[in-house]
Structure 1
Amino acid sequence: MKSTEGTVADLTMKFTERMERFEADYLHKSPPDLAPGSALSMPPDYLEFKKFIFETLECLQRQLESYVTEVDALEMRNRRKILLIHGVPEQSKEDTASEVVGVVRDRLDLKTFTASAIRRCHRVGSQANTRNPRPILLKFRDVDVRDEVWHVKTRLKGSGITLSEFLTRTRHRVFMAARERFGVANCWTKRGYIYINGPKGKRHRIVSHGELHAIGEPAPVSERCLAPITEECPTAAPKQSPAAVAPKPSSTGPRRVRVASRNLFITKTL
């Protein structure tokens, strides 16, 4: 799909360049019957044809984007029961299922979790990089068990092991771009969707670069949430005015002053 999108963009660019060269050559050639001082313009039929071509390419681009979005959603739905476990030490001969069960039971404190809840479990990626352990792809039999494990992932804090959702390539790129733009603490994923705390504390749910670009500029650093990456960021409490924060005056001093001032005003009036 990436090559198809690139082909449409290349066609649009080439068509634009050819049209610009043709128009420049046409306008530089003045016909002999052209009146002095008059400007040469492109024929109406040519302008209509150019407009039709651009509208056709734009329509084709929208259809391709819609198709890519549907395919991406279908692929993400197939990954709904999958999580990635990062940071588990890797050995030459290992039973990844046993490693995963140990992490879930000991680190996440889910004592009832067993290997029977695992449909598929293996390392992903090339073995060339021996410095860092490869992530473990874990596919559950039941999506409810998957969600239970995902909801307690914060218990892994400080252990060097992390959990992440198995996003599609498109959504992973959108997620990384969102973190770079809005900060790590303001972006997280949930069930394949990307959540962002945008300007003015408004929360956005996106899946594409177009939706990311539609969000305004990031909020100032002082207003950004400092929650972990994969956790929902709580909405900031509304700021109170200084009058609401200031302590209420006591029932003695200020009231007596106001009464004395009023009596003084009445005495002067009399």
Structure 2
Amino acid sequence: MTTLADIAENQRLFMLSINQRMASFEDHLKTSSPGADLSGLHKDFAAFKVHVWSVLSALQLQITELTRSVDIIEMRHRKKFLLLGGVPETPGEKVPEVVATIFQSKLGLADLRPSSLTVCHRLGAASEGHARPILFRCADSTFRGLIWKSKTKLKGSPYVVSEFLTRQRQTTFSTARKLFGVTNVWTMDGNINLKLPDGKRRRVFTLEEVVELGAEHGKLLEREGPPVSHTESNSALALVSSRSRRVTKRK
């Protein structure tokens, strides 16, 4: 598996190679007399460009691999947590009691108590007119399984139980729902699954996969402004895939 040390060493060697080649070009130009034949230099520069792009592509592949590995590790930790959305915020609220009451009344989990939740607090900064989701973790993994399996009982209520996805997976999940519809996209153990228009089911890992599948089935994201070029699209995907760990401290 690619490590940060591998990427750092490759970058060091790459910069050393560039500096040496650029110094060679500069020396050649300085020693060339006016009107000299520079066709050889042009060929060398063309070869240099090919070399630069090949190395950049290799580095990009390593970064993508490393990003995916970090995402897998982070999601492994987040599987222990769930999110409860749609719960109005009130001043001085006791969040564990609120959550326990909802699950007792809506899901029939009479044995679940506030003490059953080892972690239970609002996520993110408070904002007027917006109820923050509640991040919680059950002391007993059995309760987590029961909550996840019975979450369909919340249908028709303002409450929604969802997985605590990484930033990268959340973006991929949201985009997939926009393209294929809410009922055709779901998560299980942090994995994103979708049902395609032809009835086939696929598991996707990246935003790029979702966009490509959407294009194959004639589903494109709506956006304002001029069409996105291939280069801009790749840059956006690279930006989205960069890891930004979410802070889960109590607010």
TM, length-normalised to structure 2: 0.67
Please report how far the alpha carbon of residue 176 of structure 1 lies from its aligned counterpart in structure 2 after TM superposition. 1.1
Secondary structure at 1:201's aligned position in 2?
coil
Which ranges of structure 2 fall in alignment gaps of 5 or more residues?
Answer: 1-10, 12-17, 19-34, 220-251
Deviation at 1:44, TM superposition (A): 3.4
Distance 2:204 2:83 in 1: 21
Match of 1:154 among 152, 155, 167: 152
Aligned-partner Cα distance in 2 for 1:154–1:126: 28
Compute the displacement of 1:136 (Å).
Answer: 1.1
Offset, 1:46: 2.4
CA apart distance, 1:89: 2.5
Q: Which position in structure 1 is the counterpart of 2:47? A: 48
Which of 76-85 and 116-125 deviates more?
A: 116-125
Q: CA separation of 1:133/1:213 partners in 2, compared to 1, >3 Å: closer, same or farther?
A: closer
User: Which residue of structure 2 lines up, in the alignment, with residue 135 of structure 1?
Assistant: 133
**Does the 8 A contact of 2:97 with 2:113 survive in 1?**
no
- 1:201 alignment partner AA: G
Identity %: 38
Cα separation, partners in 2 of 1:93 and 1:67, compared to 1, 3 Å: same
Any unmatched runs of 5+ in structure 1? 1-7, 9-14, 16-30, 35-39, 221-270
The one-letter amino acid of 1:70's match is S
Greater Cα radius of gyration, structure 1 or 2: 1
* Residue 149 of structure 1: how far off its partner (Å): 0.5
Matched, 1:207 2:205: yes
Q: Aligned equivalents of 1:198 and 1:159: distance in 2? A: 28
SS for the counterpart of 1:194 is strand
Deviation at 1:56, TM superposition (A): 0.1
**Which residues of 2 match residues 71-220 of structure 1 at below 5 A?**
71-129=70-128, 131-215=129-213, 217-218=216-217
Deviating more after overlay: 41-50 vs 67-76: 41-50
Could you tell me whether the CA contact under 8 Å between 1:181 and 1:218 is conserved in 2?
no
Amino acid at match of 1:161: Y
Q: After superposition, what is the alpha-carbon deviation per residue over 1:212-244, rounded to whole angstroms, capped at 9, x for unaligned?
A: 234253379xxxxxxxxxxxxxxxxxxxxxxxx
The count of corresponding residues between Structure 1 and Structure 2 is 192
Root mean square deviation of aligned Cα: 3.0
Q: Which amino acid aligns with 1:109?
A: G
Query: How many angstroms apart in 1 are the aligned matches of 2:51 and 2:36?
Result: 31
Q: For residues 69 and 160 of structure 2, what CA distance do their matches in structure 1 show?
A: 29
For the residue of structure 1 that corresponds to 2:135, the secondary structure is: strand
In 2, Cα distance between equivalents of 1:76 and 1:173 = 14
Cα separation, partners in 2 of 1:219 and 1:50, compared to 1, 3 Å? closer
The SS at the match of 1:91 is: coil
Q: Secondary structure at the match of 1:121?
A: strand
What secondary structure, in the 3-state scheme, does the structure 2 residue paired with 1:215 have? helix
**In structure 1, what is the Cα distance between the partners aligned to 2:194 and 2:89?**
33
For CA contacts below 8 A with separation 6 or more, give which structure has more relative contact order: 2
Q: Which amino acid aligns with 2:68?
A: T
For the residues of structure 2 that align with 1:111 and 1:218, how far apart are their CA atoms? 46
Once the two structures are superposed, what CA deviation does each residue of 1:7-39 show, in whole Å capped at 9, x if it has no partner?
Answer: x9xxxxxx9xxxxxxxxxxxxxxx6889xxxxx
